[in-house]
Structure 1
Amino acid sequence: MSKPRLSFGLWYSLRNPAQWARPYPELYAQTLRQIAWAETIGYDDVWLTEHHFCEDGHAPSILPLCAAVAARTTRIRIGTSVLLLPLYHPVRVAEDAATIDILSNGRFELGVGVGYRPQEFKGLGLRPQDRGARMDEGLEIIRALWRGETVDYHGQHFQIEGAKLAPMPVQTPPPLWIGGFAPASAKRAARIGDGYLGTGEMGDLLKVYREERARLGHAGPGRAIGGHFWLVVSKNPAQTLANLGPHVLYQIEMYNKWLGEAGQALFPAVESPAQLVAMGILQILTPPAAIDAIAAYVAATGIERYYTWTVPPGYPEGKMDEHLQLFAEEVMPAFR
């Protein structure tokens, strides 16, 4: 049976935990080097994610990073997964996204989410309970600006008079993805987005997404779904687990803490790297097994864009090159 066709991407958070800390200029330079190299071995897109006020330096400002990627690459598509749109003024997001699209000659994709950490809103003088309304208003404004309209907008959160985007993006318009872990995000993606960005099995959320599309008269294929599970390809899985395990465990523990505080627990509690594997949260597989795992994931979710959490927090980018090359050479061709 032939395998589904997929595009393959890399996902970065640029976390720098104290126990493995490096100078930030070194971390950022090595990340940009790896992205430029990954383009040469066949990866299709790169996704950058943001959070704010994190002790481990999780990337807080990803649009400048996207511009840096654009300057160092020629083919790979560049996306945000996700930009926390309610934290921003939408006119500036529309302008910055258009600028990155110009710098990249039409390779930018804007993925947005509502956010879930109260401190990120409070630290910027915003109310967490306003995030859904700010998201909806922001999306409406960005869409209108990207259509070339002169925008007069009088909403609950944004008051705009005579805004018109110039210069316009190369794409007409850039793809707009909606991401999130809650039913409201899945519905918003079905209603407004060009695609839905999720993580893991996404079972109930995909059901909500597709039901909402059907309710709106958009049944059947037509909007893309992007997703991932934490997969590392290795010819020596036991050794790779020993090397990577503590770093992946750190990442899972941090997301469990954040999402648990928001009432959106994503993973069960884990105490060791071995548990990550036993519970299926982390899969370290040989190339043939990885092909089967991705094919099964596509069959379960219908994704068209597969991306991977590229570098576990604190793990040197150079040490991941071997796994990324193995994935590109022995896994990706099965889905081309």
Structure 2
Amino acid sequence: MDVGVFLGSQYSADEDISVAVQDLIEQTRLIRDTGYDAIWLGQHFLSHPAQYLQTTPLLSRLSAEAGDMNVGTNLLLLPMLNPVDVAEQYATLDVITGGKLILGVGLGYRAEEFAAMQLDKKDRVGRLVEGVEILKRLWTEDNVSYQGKHFTLDNVSIAPKPLQNRPQIWFGATADKAIERAALQADAWIATSMTEWGEMKRQVDLYHQTRADAGLAKEVRFAKCVELFVGDDKESALREAEPFIGAKYKAYYSWGMGDNVPGESGAGISDFGELTKNRFIVGGVDDVIEDCLYHRDVLGVTDLIVRLNFPGMPRELVRRNIERFASEVIPQVR
């Protein structure tokens, strides 16, 4: 099981954003030097009054510090973007990283983002599917023509091409239909951190069965996002993590992120300890090891994407979380 770090890039309105960028650079160096396999960045628009650093330029800067790690997007909001621009930008980034790019894409869920882009949210599935097809073709073919509902191309090519034959495209998916789409059209599925693990097991089975029914290879990568905090013990870990993870999830739920989560999304749970159960990994070292092994051995996760920094979390606490997980947990679960 590979272990990568999702680097949160959202900050409060009163934080010095130039200091925040330097912190992310230093975190990337620490993640590299302590033996992780990848770094990942997400994307949102219109997060005001919060400050959200945009994915493409930030990932380019952090790639300079990533060493041999993979770099990935988790997730790029492809339906809001032009696939020709994405193909060109991320072909360049693949060259910059020495062929270590993974492009994670998702539908997006915030109506205000689509409205500001002059797009109908109802078109997001079609724009995702067409966009992915265009990316694959532009990266691997010359003289591409395409006629779809949302995009039209007439005999176009991009240069440079990616250093890889084609970067892998992973789909973020929460609802069953989206997971079926990921099984059939993506190189891997990235699962959300909100879904309870019991419900997740059912969806993992759906993912693999959908591929089997389509005659696709049984061996496929499966990534899972996890909010994670390592403390001295369960009680102290919950106490230390709550002001940061708890606040972040209040924001997520207010944005509507839990609307498509099967089963209990956690939106109505006020007690932080209850919210974390079978959803996040928060505890002492032994607790964290046990839960990571569940992800590896029961859910079949091949790529664990852990979030170790959260808005407002002090720098020294972030660093401790990164170092402790790397030294005391990763050797037991990889």
TM-score by shorter chain over 0.5: yes
Matched, 1:255 2:252: yes
Deviates further, 310-319 or 67-76: 310-319
Matched, 1:306 2:304: yes
Partner of 2:140: 147
Matched, 1:52 2:45: yes
Partner of 2:56: 63
Q: For 1:302, what is the secondary structure of its paired residue? A: coil
Partner of 2:269: 270
* CA distance in structure 1 between the partners assigned to 2:25 and 2:43 by the alignment: 16
* CA distance in structure 1 between the partners assigned to 2:240 and 2:251 by the alignment: 19
Matched, 1:164 2:157: yes
RMSD of Structure 2 on Structure 1 (CA): 2.0
Query: What pairs up with 1:116-155 in 2 under 5 angstroms?
Result: 116-155=109-148
Contact 2:223–2:305, Cα closer than 8 Å, also in 1? yes
* CA distance in structure 2 between the partners assigned to 1:60 and 1:325 by the alignment: 24
Deviates further, 101-110 or 176-185: 176-185
Structure 1, residues 47-82: CA drift from partner, whole Å, max 9, x if none?
101111113535362011111111222211100011
Deviation at 1:11, TM superposition (A): 0.7
Contact 1:227–1:303, Cα closer than 8 Å, also in 2? yes
TM-score w.r.t. length of structure 2: 0.91
Q: Structure 1's 290 and 263: CA in aligned 2 closer, same or farther, altered over 3 A?
A: closer
* AA aligned opposite 2:94: D
Q: Structure 1's 14 and 260: CA in aligned 2 closer, same or farther, altered over 3 A?
A: closer
Contact 2:229–2:241, Cα closer than 8 Å, also in 1? no
Structure 1, residues 114-148: CA drift from partner, whole Å, max 9, x if none?
11111110011101001011011101100001113
Structure 1, residues 178-218: CA drift from partner, whole Å, max 9, x if none?
11212222122111111000024323432332222112102
* CA distance in structure 1 between the partners assigned to 2:208 and 2:51 by the alignment: 32
Deviation at 1:280, TM superposition (A): 4.2
Contact 1:31–1:317, Cα closer than 8 Å, also in 2? no
Q: For 1:51, what is the secondary structure of its paired residue? A: coil
Matched, 1:242 2:239: yes
Q: 2:230 aligns with which of 225, 233, 238?
A: 233
Q: For 1:111, what is the secondary structure of its paired residue? A: strand
Deviation at 1:250, TM superposition (A): 1.0
- Report the identity percentage: 27
Contact 1:79–1:109, Cα closer than 8 Å, also in 2? yes
| Number of residue-to-residue matches in the alignment | 327
Structure 1, residues 252-304: CA drift from partner, whole Å, max 9, x if none?
11222223684547324232434434x44443222223222111122231110
Deviation at 1:26, TM superposition (A): 1.1
Contact 1:50–1:58, Cα closer than 8 Å, also in 2? no
* CA distance in structure 2 between the partners assigned to 1:170 and 1:241 by the alignment: 44
Q: 1:210 aligns with which of 198, 208, 211?
A: 208
Contact 2:9–2:53, Cα closer than 8 Å, also in 1? no
Q: 2:11 aligns with which of 16, 19, 23?
A: 16
Q: Structure 1's 70 and 173: CA in aligned 2 closer, same or farther, altered over 3 A?
A: same
Q: For 2:282, what is the secondary structure of its paired residue? A: strand
